[in-house]
């Protein structure tokens, strides 16, 4: 089973709203990732959680706030976003943090900020 | 210099032909390489991983790695219209994975 699930599939929010994206995996993976992907661009790394600890924050604006409540769950809290934050937000997981570990993506959340 | 480079395409091949997708990387110490397929509006899907020099085959897909030349490629035999997608090359790292910009492939019936 290589399934990573994400909810919601689509999200439309205003610039003053607060919302959260959710990601879940039950593969026992210990590394989880948030990526942002704009049209015709590769995924852009935002955050990495390794063994439930934040290990990489790629200078992401504070209006994005990650949370890892347990080894299976990853949230991304959104507040006061800008229209340019509209993108596909991808969650991914890996067995571990070794360079040899394969990484699997969830289906993504399509976010539109009005 | 970009870490992982791919020809953005588009690459167009006729149905039944061999599609050849190429990728170069800058970090000579890199040891793990991955190919992802991404259909328009969907998330990337892992196709192949390769760690050793040479060829690795999986069905119609063959990944080729040449560490001396810092080059990795993906061959798709008997290309089908359903193979039309963007193919992302990725290099594994500790804690992260570095992606190329992707090559858009179109297979024409």
Q: What is the pLDDT of residue B95?
A: 82
Closest Cα of chain B to A99: distance in Å? 4
Q: Which H helix or E strand runs over A46?
A: strand A44-50
Q: What average pLDDT does this structure show over B44-69?
A: 97
What is the DSSP code (8-state) at residue A85? G
The answer to whether residue B83 scores a pLDDT higher than 70 is yes
Which residues of chain A lie closer than 8 angstroms to B41, CB-CB? 110
Cβ–Cβ pairs < 8 A, chains A and B: 57
Query: Which tens digits make up the pLDDT trace of A81-93?
Result: 999 999 999 999 9
Q: What is the pLDDT of residue A1?
A: 55
Query: Could B96 and A56 be called an inter-chain contact, meaning their C-beta atoms sit closer than 8 Å?
Result: yes
Q: Which H helix or E strand runs over B83?
A: none
**Residue A67 and residue A54: Cα distance in Å, rounded?**
8
| Closest listed residue to residue B36, CA positions, set B25, B23, B18, B26 | B23
- Asked if residues B34 and B22 have their Cβ atoms less than 8 Å apart, the reply is no
Which residues of chain B lie closer than 8 angstroms to A43, CB-CB? 44, 88, 99
Distances (CA, A) of B37 to A49, A57, B59: 24, 26, 15
Would an 8 Å CB–CB cutoff place B2 in contact with chain A?
Answer: no
Tell me if residue B82 falls in helix, strand or coil.
Answer: helix
What is the DSSP code (8-state) at residue B40? T
Q: Give me the residue from A55, A88, A108 closest to B95, CB to CB.
A: A55
**Residue A91 and residue A16: Cα distance in Å, rounded?**
24
- Asked if residues B69 and B83 have their Cβ atoms less than 8 Å apart, the reply is no
Query: Which tens digits make up the pLDDT trace of A99-113?
Result: 999 999 999 999 999
Would an 8 Å CB–CB cutoff place B51 in contact with chain A?
Answer: yes
Would an 8 Å CB–CB cutoff place A41 in contact with chain B?
Answer: yes
């Amino acid at each position: 089973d290589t399934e990573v699930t994400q909810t919601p599939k689509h999200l439309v929010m205003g610039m003053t709203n607060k919302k959260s994206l959710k990601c879940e995996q039950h593969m026992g993976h210990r590394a989880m990732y948030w990526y942002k992907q704009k049209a015709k661009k590769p995924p852009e790394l935002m955050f990495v959680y390794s063994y439930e600890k934040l290990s990489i924050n790629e200078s992401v604006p504070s209006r994005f706030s990650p949370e890892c409540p347990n080894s299976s769950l990853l949230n991304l809290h959104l507040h006061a976003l800008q229209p340019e934050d509209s993108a596909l937000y991808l969650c991914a997981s890996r067995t571990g943090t070794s360079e040899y570990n394969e990484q699997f993506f969830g289906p993504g959340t399509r976010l539109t900020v009005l | 210099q970009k870490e992982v480079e791919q020809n953005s395409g588009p690459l167009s091949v006729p149905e039944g032909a061999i599609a050849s997708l190429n990728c170069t990387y800058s970090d000579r110490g890199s040891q793990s390489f991955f190919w992802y397929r991404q259909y328009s509006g969907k998330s990337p899907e892992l196709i192949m991983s390769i760690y050793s020099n040479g060829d690795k085959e999986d069905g119609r897909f063959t990944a080729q790695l040449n560490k001396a030349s810092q080059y990795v490629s993906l061959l798709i035999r008997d290309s089908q219209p359903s193979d039309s997608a963007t193919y992302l090359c990725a290099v594994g790292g500790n804690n992260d994975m570095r992606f190329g910009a992707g090559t858009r492939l179109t297979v024409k019936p």
